[in-house]
Amino acid sequence: MLRALSIAAAAAIAAVGVAVAAGDAEHPHDYPFSFDSPVGGYDMGEVQRGFQVYQQVCASCHGMDNLAYRHLGEKGGPFALYMVRDHDTGELTPHVGKPAHGGRFVPVTENPYVRAIASNVMIADIDPSSGMETERAGRPEDYFRNPFPNEIAARATNGGAYPVDLSVITLARHGGADYIRSLLLGYDGESNGALHHNKYFPGGWIAMPPPLIEGAVAYADGTETTVEQYATDVTAFLQWAADPHMETRKRTGIIVLAFLLMLAGVLYLAYKQVWRGESH
Ligand code: HEC
């Protein structure tokens, strides 16, 4: 008991410490993401557009070392390809992202979208004949290109600040997706050259210049190209990257719950049967 109390006290002190260290940062805006609820999944259109924003904007400073291009096309990925049979014509048509029902999953190695995404990126490699360093077009099995060869180079280009790896950033920050989205929208134009005022960043001043500019990324699906939309989309992509199996996990959870409920019902009936006629 005493031990439990002292652990609780230590935790409380640590929490206060973190709150103080966080300074005057504003509480993130609670945005209703599709994945927030216990049964909610990803909006794959959002995740696809978010990848585009990452690729065209964030990837010039931030790596995502845990991700390979092939992950984008695996089951549950934003560019997973399915062949769906048209009811009227009987023809098979490609569908990017899981269709509402049916569809045959196309293995990543045969997914032209993933191959195109990878081949648009130049990856550092060793030339097999000369042994010299070279660059080649990316392949689905390559991990995401890191914009810098090492942390020293990354800091040297960013005024001493380090653009963190974004692979699991929504899990690594208090406030998760809401914090990331708020941070991207938290600039007010105030800057001293090296640092930019952002009310959601602990301490209030961040070395990252406002990365999102209205209209800078062209969307093919007609979605509006505002800073707010970019922030929502790229955050959804970062959440998917950090937790790609969330949908399966939630589904399994629901099946387990349904099973337990059924089991409880059966046990109750068995109990009634066994004790029928007994006074207790
Ligand atoms: C010009 C380079 C640059 C670009 C482009 C850029 N960032 Fe950053 N980012 C940085 C730097 C530098 C830091 C470290 C800031 C600091 O520590 O003050 C950072 C920090 C961050 C952080 C961590 C904040 C924290 O709580 O520690 C997140 C999240 C982030 N960036 C997301 C993004 C996203 C998403 C994009 C694309 C929309 C993006 N960044 C584009 C340079 C960049």
Atom of ligand 1 minimally distant from the CA of 60: 5
Report the pLDDT averaged over residues 228-251. Answer: 95
Atom of ligand 1 minimally distant from the CA of 209: 1
CATH 3.90.1150.10 for the 21-66+146-261 domain, yes or no: no
Q: What's the 163 CA to ligand 1 centre distance in angstroms?
A: 5
Q: What's the 61 CA to ligand 1 centre distance in angstroms?
A: 7
Verify whether ligand 1 is closer than 6 Å to residue 180 (CB atom): yes
Verify whether ligand 1 is closer than 6 Å to residue 207 (CB atom): yes
| pTM for the whole structure | 0.87
What confidence category does residue 241 fall into, taking pLDDT thresholds of 50, 70 and 90?
very high
pLDDT higher than threshold 60 for residue 265: yes
User: Is 218 within 8 Å of 225 (Cβ atoms)?
Assistant: yes
User: Is 235 within 8 Å of 211 (Cβ atoms)?
Assistant: no
Verify whether ligand 1 is closer than 6 Å to residue 163 (CB atom): yes
| Sheet of 205-206, strands arranged across | 187-191, 196-198, 205-206
pLDDT higher than threshold 90 for residue 14: no
Residues of the chain with CATH 1.10.760.10: 21-66+146-261
CA distances (Å), origin 11, targets 4, 7, 8, 168? 11, 6, 5, 24
Output the pLDDT for position 277. Answer: 85
Write out pLDDT tens, residues 31-82. 999 999 988 999 999 999 999 999 999 999 999 999 999 999 999 999 999 9
Q: What's the 49 CA to ligand 1 centre distance in angstroms?
A: 19
Share of the chain above pLDDT 90, in %: 82
Write out pLDDT tens, residues 93-133. 999 988 888 899 999 999 999 999 999 999 999 999 999 99
Q: Which amino acid is at 230?
A: Y
d(CA 266, CA 205): 60
Task: Name the residue of 47, 57, 61 whose CB sits within 8 Å of the most ligand 1 atoms, as the mutation to test its pocket.
Answer: 61
Output the pLDDT for position 99. Answer: 87
Write out pLDDT tens, residues 156-195. 999 999 999 999 999 999 999 999 999 999 999 999 989 9
Average pLDDT of every residue of the chain: 91
d(CA 165, CA 64): 5
